[in-house]
Amino acid sequence: MDKDRGTKANRKSEQLEAFRKQSQGKVMTTNQGVKVNDDENTLKAGKRGPTLFEDFHFREKLAHFDRERIPERVVHARGYGVHGDFQVYQCMKEWTKASFLQDPSVKTPVFVRFSEVSGSKGAYETNRDVRGFAVKFYTDEGVFDLVGNNIPIFFIQDSIKFPDLIHALKPEPHNEIPQGQSAHDTFWDFIANNQESAAMMMWLMSDRTVPRSFRMMEGFGVHTFRMVNEAGVSRFVKFHWKPVLGVHSLLFKEAQQIGGYDPDFHRRDLWSNIEMGNYAEFELGVQMIPEEDEMMFGFDILDSTKLWPEEDVPVTIIGKMTLNRNVDNVFAETEQVALHPGNIVPGIDFTSDPLLQGRLFSYTDTQLYRVGTNYKELPINRPLCPFHNNQRDGAARISIDLGQVAYHNNSLANNTPVTVSGEDGGFVSYPEQLGGTKTRETGELFSDHFSQARLFWNSMSDIEKMHITEAFSFELGKVKSLSVREQVVDMIARISTSLAESVARNIGVEVPCECKQIEVSKSSPALSQANTVFLPYTLRVGVIVAEGFDGQMLGAVLAYFKKYGLQPVILSKQLGRITGNNGMELDVDDSFITGAPVLYDSLYVIGGEGQCPYFVGKAQEFVRESFKHYKPIGASGPGIGIIQSLGIEQEDGVIIGQGAAEFAGRFIPAAAQRRFFGRSIM
């Protein structure tokens, strides 16, 4: 055995040495052999200008990257879609001429695709990962796609580095491990050597990347766009989706267990609630900055690794999206939907955000490769308003075009279709003043990588800080390279000395010997999930019952649950029907074998006259596990004895009662609170 282990170690060492020799001293070139001068920045019209289409190195690099996987998406492969509609609350004419933001009585159809970033289609859904949050609006002026994430910033500043980020994040190529996780050497090596990722690194290690539900996470457009009104006045804008149910997360260990019990946890939650009529609701908010205030902040507003603190630039809520219809066919809709940040309508326009500029090329290129030449003709992608142009033929053409003319200008068809002026609804790009020397550089303020990372840390509650510390310790504890671990801890020390010291001790590296912590005292309460909305609506309660349960008590409690939107899941030792002491019958939803404590947001133990030692033992297991995850636990009747046998009846969030009204009055607010972190863990 030792000999085999030594042989494998030698082979790995030889492979690494061969790779180093192959790459050592080599100059980077394009695929045509042209030596590359800069692989960090796209070619721009001035340091803060837009990316130039002539950047052949960028186009080659991204076009190759877009074609690396077939047939699933390179990123965001694991996703789920749903239909709905959007209504603006009041006319937005002052800020934009976009027609779907004018009339509060108009419902604009939408399609939303939620997704993970790193995993393949087979990854389980509760991995620690950024979540995609992409919305397609079918407006009367054409399709508008708001393609974002559940995090307001991103890892990189310039899109030319996107292939590098994803290559580092994806499973390592020599062994295809790990799947759908960031806890490995190449990802953290990228972070340590691309320190513009510092703020995003903090978000990734926070509770935001283990959401409780798609219905309970924020969405962000990430980039800086423009809104333009009829008078031609432009404002810089960022888009936000605020979930009506608040922003809530799983615990990391809980998320790992759920991945084993139910790899489809998030899509099942979305599908089931919509089928029950519990529609997912999100309010659309905008942050706006006038053109003349562009440079008044201590960061560059075109930098996608930076957010606009809500205390400095308030979010104005302008409308609501209601997701109310599941797809009919996942492949035809969710998989074939082609989302693209370049799909905009009059009244919304681009900025020179260098990450956005590259996406305007890459997303079109990706969809042409992945779905095909005529992907825009598919039902899920085509606009609801009429569309006409001279594009013809191509693979999988759906339209049967008539006539002999397919060009412009023409006389044979009276020069139709015709272009129209901006006054008649034609799209006219905002006449931004541009100027500067062609260069592969970026704005000076892009170089501050740590101020907002510190802002995020300052904004966290003590519990959130503890979870971030544990997340770093887990992730970096999986990194085999001591050098990479040391580099990341040194990077963390720029953000928080105390965080770096704790992580260093946990992963066995030297604590940085000098204080490098950046001096930022500001915080932003909007960044902490402790400041969100807490509602009981649609939360799942595991109700543990045995034969001969108190039917009068349970019936009354279930009525209260229904009134406040809690979803009871009847749980017993086996599936089938179960009867109470008053003849009340219930269908058992989960048995102790098919269910698991992590699948419920709280527990209610009522027991029954027929509870046996097996029932009591299993109920105790469920209670212990829920207690460890700080969840609310209630008990009545014989169930009280089960709680008392564990000695937890005096702990926070443990509710005991005999009267239905009194019990429900205390249990339902506890269920809404979700976690009781003050309790002592068994």
Of residues 165, 161, 189, 168, the one with CA closest to residue 38: 161
| pLDDT 10s digits, 587-600 | 999 999 999 999 99
What pLDDT, on a 0 to 100 scale, did the predictor assign at position 325? 97
Kindly tell me the sign of the dihedral angle through the C-alpha atoms of 529, 535, 540, 545: positive
pTM of the entire predicted model: 0.91
Mean pLDDT for the stretch of residues 427-443: 89
> CA 272, CA 266: separation in Å to the nearest integer?
10
SS3 track for 447-498: HCCCHHHHHHHHHCCHHHHHHHHHHHHHHHHCCCCHHHHHHHHHHHHHHCHH
The CATH architecture that domain 534-673 belongs to is 3-Layer(aba) Sandwich (3.40)
How far does CA 471 lie from the centroid of its chain? 17
Q: In the predicted model, what is the mean pLDDT of residues 384-409?
A: 84
Q: Which helix (H) or strand (E) holds 227?
A: strand 225-228
- 76 catalytic residue (yes or no): yes
Query: At 681, is the pLDDT very low, low, confident or very high (cuts 50, 70, 90)?
Result: low
Output b/e per residue, 330-354; b: 16+ Cβ within 10 A.
eeebbbbbbbbbebbbbbbbbbbbb
pLDDT score at 1: 44
- Top CATH class, 44-183+210-377: mainly beta
Query: Taken in order 532, 533, 539, 542, is the CA torsion positive or negative?
Result: positive
Residue 449 has pLDDT above 70, yes or no: yes
Q: Rounded to whole angstroms, how far apart are CA atoms 303 and 198?
A: 13
The rounded distance, in Å, linking the Cα atoms of 649 and 576 is: 31
Contact 605, 634 (CB under 8 A): yes
pLDDT at 70: 46
Alpha-carbon span 435 to 47, nearest angstrom: 10
Confidence of residue 320 (pLDDT cuts 50, 70, 90): very high
Average pLDDT, the chain: 92
Instruction: Take residue 501 and report the two structure tokens written for it.
Output: 């010291």
Could you tell me whether strands 654-656 and 633-635 are parallel, antiparallel, or unpaired per DSSP bridges? Answer: parallel
| pLDDT tops 60 at residue 632 | yes
In angstroms, the CA 541 to CA 558 distance is: 10
Round to whole Å and give the CA distance between 540 and 603.
9
Given the residues 149, 278, 326, 374, the one annotated as active site: 149
Residue type, 430: Y
Q: Tokens 């269910």 map to which residue? A: 595
Q: Which amino acid is at 75?
A: V
* Closest listed residue to residue 485, CA positions, set 202, 185, 197, 205: 185
Q: Cα–Cα distance between 678 and 651 in angstroms, integer?
A: 9
Count the neighbouring beta carbons within 10 Å of the beta carbon of residue 32: 8
Q: Which residue has the higher pLDDT, 554 or 679?
A: 554
Largest CA-CA distance found in the chain, in angstroms, rounded: 90
Tokens of 156: 């990189």
The architecture (CATH level 2) of 448-530 comes to Up-down Bundle (1.20)
Given 76, 223, 266, 467, which residue is catalytic? 76
How far, in Å, CA of 554 to CA of 568, rounded? 11
Confidence of residue 25 (pLDDT cuts 50, 70, 90): confident
Residue 97: CB atoms within 10 Å: 21
Q: How far is CA 204 from CA 208, 257, 273, 458, in A?
A: 7, 19, 27, 16
| Region of 607 on the Ramachandran plot (φ > 0 left; ψ -120 to 50 alpha; else beta) | left
Residue extents of the structural domains in the chain: 44-183+210-377, 448-530, 534-673
Distance of CA 420 to the CA centre of its chain: 39
